[in-house]
Structure 1
Amino acid sequence: MNTLRLLLALCLLSAFATAQTPKQPNAADRSPARTYCNPMDISYRYNFEQMNERVSYRSGADPVIINHKGEYYLFVTIQGGWWHSKDLSNWRYVVPDKWPMEDMCAPAALSVRDTLYLFQSTFEQRPIFISTEPEKGKLKFYNRWLPRLPKDIGPWDPALFHDPDTDKWYMYWGSSNVYPIFGAELDKSRKLTYAGNNPAEAYKAMFWLDPYKHGWERFGPNHSDPFKPFTEGAWMTKYNGKYYLQYGAPGTEYNVYGNGTYVGKDPLGPFEYAPYNPIAYKPGGFATGCGHGNTFQDNYGNYWNTGTTWIGVNWGMERRIVMNPAGFDKDDQMHVNTRFGDYPHYLPTGKWTNRDELFTGWMLLNYRKPVTASSTLATAPTDTVTADRVADENPRTFWVAGQNKSGETLTTDLGAEADIRAVQVDYFDYKLDIFDSDSTVYTQFKILTSLDGKRWETVADLTKEPKKDHACAYVEISVRADGKPVRARYVRYEHVYTAGKHLSINAFRVFGTGTGKAPATPPGLTVKRQKDQRNADISWGKVPGATGYNIRWGIAPDKLYQTYQFFHDQAGPRSAHHDTASPFELRALNVGVPYYFAIEAFNENGVSALSEVVSGE
């Protein structure tokens, strides 16, 4: 542990925050640490929303992770139970002894001392539940009914908050493009019912969305739809005497779904809009969107922020769950790190000091690299289900095998030898008829590697673990006995089992490190703020050999906390001279707030140094 801390301290001292990307710890030095990759690898349950329409798919939304007595509990909308983990990596599904009411949508959860509190979204009268043994699925009534509020007020998307300094209790809620986020004090002496004698007067508005000043609160893909945006997913975090009331916006079904915060000196305000919003934002990459979640601390005191990422094929609200490192800087500015947020990250074994130190440095090795399949389903002309779709970093395109049978394969050619560190296999639910996640719903496969495409070695085998459904299966590839990573040019997925009529995969992602050079720093970064200050036009010079770019920005040169990731063929058409990218329009800025910008390039070999920081006033 002392050696690890020394290495991290040296990395921090040698990194210039505004001039280059902080150096990552050597992977060999961090090999004992467990890694994870978004979307989270849990046994997502099959859907409830479109069951009556006979549309079948796994989904998960509105996550809340609670640290209860040093262990972790994940609650997700209408999943028939919850998940329990001791390490934030391996999640065991827990079925409660009984649901006293109907299943829970967007539940609130809170741990205070030895008790876990649980409350569902509702517009009716519903109870708060408690458990002192959530790992066993034990639930009890805490109160019988929380009084009903006026029509359409809720509480929907609730959050429970206990202020440890005053021993007072509060609830926040809201899910609407009409109503604000609400807040109310709860009376502990009356089993957490609303404080006061009149429930209709117990709550008050905390804040409304203001998309005319806050660019990121605008609706639609890349904030391009004039439709009135939605706010939801309230959550409260107290830090250094300040109250951070968080919220999700502008809509769960878009790549720009993020989290923001208002800050106050009292649990019920008044609150001020944080000019650095959004705090959690991931509009680019594979797992886009990270809104409507919660903030919690792990056993080392590190902060994390959860959220929802969008799939949206079988149904517009088809989703998965993400978890990103978070924290507060020296000025108490709240931030969530989504840079390479859907690449492998280390789970900390202590308190981190550098916001980028959890990134493994393992890069995506097979973006748009050749992929061959053992078979492909013959479909209607309107369906494209070919093997190349698993390498395009788009969760809404997919491959379907000719049959769902053992032995079907996907093989990707990396084009050159590389060190293979991890693989993610994301399944897609193509025309299934599964409406219950019973014992037949599980996934098994093998991962094989080869240097020449002829001689193959099995480097992972899920048939050797207990049966479990991995909708977003993440497998770390063990290093060899000599401590060196597996080296290969070809990587193969070999199918064993998944439930349902079809085998379909929307992503076969291979991570590791290539043997070539990382790209050069992008030259010529320019940023021009538009007359509408919510928008800025950004241009930069093309970098030979770059797979993609990260635009990074923030409210100060040393606070570049936001990231917009592009792949080289997604960053807009090239100019006539083929040496610069046409301007990209960033539409997530706040009116009246000065900004600073930088850019970095990446490929399968690593990440460039960060460019010089430029002003975007």
Structure 2
Amino acid sequence: MKVPRKKHFSLVFLFCLLFTEICSHAQTTYCNPMDIDYKYNFEQLNEHISYRSGADPVIINHKGEYFMFVTIQGGYWHSKDMLSWKYLTANRWPFEDMCAPAAVSVRDTLFLFQSTFESRPILYSVAPEKGIWEFYNRWTPRLPKDIGPWDPAIFHDADTDKWYMYWGSSNVYPIFGSELDHSKRLAFKGQYQAMFWLNPYEHGWERFGPNHSDPFKPFTEGAWMTKHNGKYYLQYGAPGTEYNVYANGTYVGDNPLGPFTYAPYNPVSYKPGGFATGAGHGNTFQDNYGNYWNTGTSWIGLNWAMERRMVRYAAGFDKDGHMFANTRFGDFPHKMTTKKWEGKGDELFTGWMLLSYKKPVTASSTLDTMSAAKITDENPRTFWAAKQNKPGETLTVDIGKESDIKAIQINYTDYKSDIFANDPEKVYTQFKILTSKDGKKWEVVSDLTQEPKRDRPCAYIELSQPVKARYVRYEHVYVASPILAISEFRIFGNGYGKVPETPDSFKAVRQKDARNADLSWKKVAGATGYNILWGIAPDKLYQTYQFWNDEPETFELRALNVGVPYYFAIEAFNENGVSKISETVAVK
């Protein structure tokens, strides 16, 4: 039957509107790990190991826009809103690329300096959004062997117009500091000096290994300086990037070169549990609304120990000047702020819960023993692989009951990758997301083939509106690697049931070794997991350790500082929301 021309036009118009809505929704939220086009890392080129990685991020607010510099990326990123990042290459760049770079914005100029043990130039730009850089100086003096400056940070004190550099990356040497002479193009001024060493005998979180369990001597690195209310916060990463407990701490002083005092509330940024574990070696910056953020490095460690991703968390200083970063539900979707937030930024959490944990998965094909069940276990080091990397391969998650689906995150794995050139014409990702109420009738809710090609190893998709569905499907289109491999298919939204009860019988008992405490709680019916919250006062529960309900209900926490009293609490969460926080338990 012939459709009337007017009606036909209306149907086409409605279809176009729907298609545009699916493909061009303006994103308002983000989810860690950061969704950017991580570049293939060539540190292990001679071993012929290929993998995407990004670490040691520095985000600078320069004239109201954001620039992000990352280890070994061949360039950097630019954003106007911290949601959409554009990768840029530069007219001048260190020949061997940059590790753990330093950057600082002073007036109309952005300065950039690489980690080095040799003499290297400082670059500057008045148009970094165009990739135009020039030499500010041609070299910096060499320091003694093994000193650096590796992992540098350049700090400009706007109140005094003086310049400083801090650096260090070692399990032998301390964090160093030195004033720079601006009249001599930022040459070192006078003698550099030690700022502080790690002290794992009193600071439990500075111990090396998974959950601070390895006696190997820990590493300090990633210096960064922030001045707040006349105090100088000299930050550092520890105890090592290749474990879940990588964190940022701080010392505080009245002068930029000290003396500095250890902050008893350390670490300030710590995320040992959940999917994106590790939060160390980043920087602290302010957005256009005056809010603080803390960036960090999250651990993957599948292809190589230094395979990593990047994270960022709301941060700040409380009324007592205590520095913090909010990692509670840190790898769940959060709102990008458009104003000054209150407290510690809990209002940024969307309340969208993880719907996919340990849910059954059906795959169109499976390579060897890399089963689809691994994509819902919240472990970035396990993964599914398809028999062939071809369009049409699918993964279908049954979340068990109809829920409001609000966001998706697809995390790819570089399994037996052969990519050794970051060619944007070849290296990109494309897929479709479909949902269904009954597993038979499917609706496309996101289609990456309709957006410009770019690589998204940690692709985060915020749906334009909640979709009521029980089944969620990934339909493959393209990845550059020879094998299609996915570590995690994360589905966020809200169920229609009750939030869990607050756990009772929660206990925290400090051991004879005061760096440790034994935690225990009673599991709650219907809970997906728990957050253990702790800090040095009932209103300063800034630390979070996330556990799953199918894990043991006892845990030895090894992250405490000797001589510091603590307060602990617990909350439960499931697909419907979060319980009330328990009463605090004091531990002397």
Same structural fold, with TM-score higher than 0.5 when normalized by the shorter chain: yes
Superposed displacement of residue 32, structure 1: 8.1
In the alignment, does 2:172 pair up with 1:187?
A: no
Superposed displacement of residue 372, structure 1: 0.7
In the alignment, does 2:570 pair up with 1:599?
A: yes
CA separation in 2, counterparts of 1:224 and 1:350?
Answer: 41
Corresponding residue of 2:460: 474
In the alignment, does 2:524 pair up with 1:543?
A: yes
Name the aligned partner's letter for residue 508 of structure 2. V
**Are the aligned partners of 2:31 and 2:460 in contact in 1 as well (CA < 8 Å)?**
yes
Superposed displacement of residue 101, structure 1: 3.6
Given candidates 390, 412, 415, the residue that maps to 1:430 is 415
**Are the aligned partners of 2:27 and 2:462 in contact in 1 as well (CA < 8 Å)?**
no
CA separation in 2, counterparts of 1:592 and 1:354?
Answer: 27
Corresponding residue of 2:537: 556
In the alignment, does 2:365 pair up with 1:375?
A: yes
Alignment of 1:486-497 (within 5 A): 486-497=467-478
CA separation in 1, counterparts of 2:511 and 2:378?
Answer: 30
CA separation in 1, counterparts of 2:287 and 2:421?
Answer: 32
Q: TM-score, normalised by structure 1?
A: 0.90
Alignment of 1:270-349 (within 5 A): 270-349=259-338
Superposed displacement of residue 98, structure 1: 3.1
In the alignment, does 2:392 pair up with 1:407?
A: yes
CA separation in 2, counterparts of 1:188 and 1:566?
Answer: 49
Corresponding residue of 1:446: 432
Corresponding residue of 1:586: 557
In the alignment, does 2:494 pair up with 1:500?
A: no
Alignment of 1:62-73 (within 5 A): 62-73=56-67
Corresponding residue of 1:261: 250
CA separation in 2, counterparts of 1:117 and 1:330?
Answer: 32
CA separation in 1, counterparts of 2:153 and 2:94?
Answer: 20
Superposed displacement of residue 500, structure 1: 1.8
Once the two structures are superposed, what CA deviation does each residue of 1:541-592 show, in whole Å capped at 9, x if it has no partner? 110010100000000000000000001112x2xxxxxxxx3x3110000000
Corresponding residue of 1:398: 383
Secondary structure at the residue paired with 1:395? coil
CA separation in 1, counterparts of 2:93 and 2:282?
Answer: 23
Name the aligned partner's letter for residue 444 of structure 2. T
**Are the aligned partners of 2:220 and 2:240 in contact in 1 as well (CA < 8 Å)?**
yes
In the alignment, does 2:496 pair up with 1:515?
A: yes
Corresponding residue of 1:612: 583
Superposed displacement of residue 100, structure 1: 4.9
CA separation in 1, counterparts of 2:498 and 2:106?
Answer: 50
**Are the aligned partners of 1:46 and 1:436 in contact in 2 as well (CA < 8 Å)?**
yes
Q: TM-score, normalised by structure 2?
A: 0.95
Secondary structure at the residue paired with 2:233? strand
Corresponding residue of 1:6: none
In the alignment, does 2:147 pair up with 1:176?
A: no
Corresponding residue of 2:70: 76
Corresponding residue of 1:420: 405
CA separation in 1, counterparts of 2:506 and 2:335?
Answer: 31
Corresponding residue of 1:11: none
Given candidates 523, 546, 565, the residue that maps to 1:565 is 546
Secondary structure at the residue paired with 2:430? strand
Alignment of 1:121-136 (within 5 A): 121-136=115-130
Corresponding residue of 1:359: 349
Name the aligned partner's letter for residue 503 of structure 2. P
CA separation in 1, counterparts of 2:278 and 2:85?
Answer: 22
**Are the aligned partners of 1:45 and 1:436 in contact in 2 as well (CA < 8 Å)?**
no
Name the aligned partner's letter for residue 513 of structure 1. N
CA separation in 2, counterparts of 1:106 and 1:32?
Answer: 32
Given candidates 107, 110, 125, the residue that maps to 1:113 is 107
Name the aligned partner's letter for residue 242 of structure 1. K
Residues 74 and 363 of structure 1, relative CA distance in 2, 3 Å threshold: same
Once the two structures are superposed, what CA deviation does each residue of 1:348-389 show, in whole Å capped at 9, x if it has no partner? 0100003200000000001000011011113xxxxx411010
More strand by share: 2
Secondary structure at the residue paired with 2:449? helix
Secondary structure at the residue paired with 2:400? strand
For structure 2, the 5+ residue unaligned runs are 1-24
Secondary structure at the residue paired with 1:110? strand
Secondary structure at the residue paired with 1:390? helix
For structure 1, the 5+ residue unaligned runs are 1-30, 197-201, 379-383, 480-484, 573-580
Once the two structures are superposed, what CA deviation does each residue of 1:77-129 show, in whole Å capped at 9, x if it has no partner? 01000011111011110011232543111100111111000000001100100
CA separation in 2, counterparts of 1:518 and 1:533?
Answer: 35
Name the aligned partner's letter for residue 41 of structure 1. D
In the alignment, does 2:510 pair up with 1:529?
A: yes
CA separation in 1, counterparts of 2:483 and 2:84?
Answer: 27
CA separation in 1, counterparts of 2:452 and 2:443?
Answer: 22
CA separation in 2, counterparts of 1:186 and 1:569?
Answer: 53
Superposed displacement of residue 526, structure 1: 1.0
Name the aligned partner's letter for residue 359 of structure 2. K
Secondary structure at the residue paired with 1:488? strand
Once the two structures are superposed, what CA deviation does each residue of 1:301-359 show, in whole Å capped at 9, x if it has no partner? 11000010001011111000001100111111000000000000000010000320000
Secondary structure at the residue paired with 1:477? strand
Percent of pairs with identical residues: 74
Once the two structures are superposed, what CA deviation does each residue of 1:227-257 show, in whole Å capped at 9, x if it has no partner? 0000000000000000000000000000000
Corresponding residue of 1:578: none
Secondary structure at the residue paired with 2:40? coil
Superposed displacement of residue 33, structure 1: 7.2
Name the aligned partner's letter for residue 393 of structure 1. E
**Are the aligned partners of 2:56 and 2:282 in contact in 1 as well (CA < 8 Å)?**
yes
Name the aligned partner's letter for residue 582 of structure 2. S
Name the aligned partner's letter for residue 331 of structure 2. D
CA separation in 2, counterparts of 1:388 and 1:69?
Answer: 47
Superposed displacement of residue 152, structure 1: 1.0
Given candidates 440, 455, 471, the residue that maps to 2:441 is 455
CA separation in 2, counterparts of 1:521 and 1:550?
Answer: 11
Corresponding residue of 2:55: 61
Name the aligned partner's letter for residue 71 of structure 2. T
Superposed displacement of residue 136, structure 1: 1.1
**Are the aligned partners of 1:33 and 1:348 in contact in 2 as well (CA < 8 Å)?**
no
Secondary structure at the residue paired with 1:135? helix
Alignment of 1:136-285 (within 5 A): 136-196=130-190, 202-285=191-274
Corresponding residue of 1:575: none
**Are the aligned partners of 2:249 and 2:266 in contact in 1 as well (CA < 8 Å)?**
yes
CA separation in 2, counterparts of 1:47 and 1:124?
Answer: 22
Secondary structure at the residue paired with 2:270? coil
Name the aligned partner's letter for residue 35 of structure 2. D
**Are the aligned partners of 2:92 and 2:134 in contact in 1 as well (CA < 8 Å)?**
no
Alignment of 1:4-23 (within 5 A): none
Number of residue pairs the alignment of both structures matches: 562
CA separation in 2, counterparts of 1:436 and 1:315?
Answer: 18
Name the aligned partner's letter for residue 333 of structure 1. H
CA separation in 1, counterparts of 2:167 and 2:473?
Answer: 46
Q: CA RMSD in A?
A: 1.0
Secondary structure at the residue paired with 1:195? strand
Residues 99 and 41 of structure 1, relative CA distance in 2, 3 Å threshold: same
Residues 613 and 33 of structure 1, relative CA distance in 2, 3 Å threshold: farther
Secondary structure at the residue paired with 2:53? coil
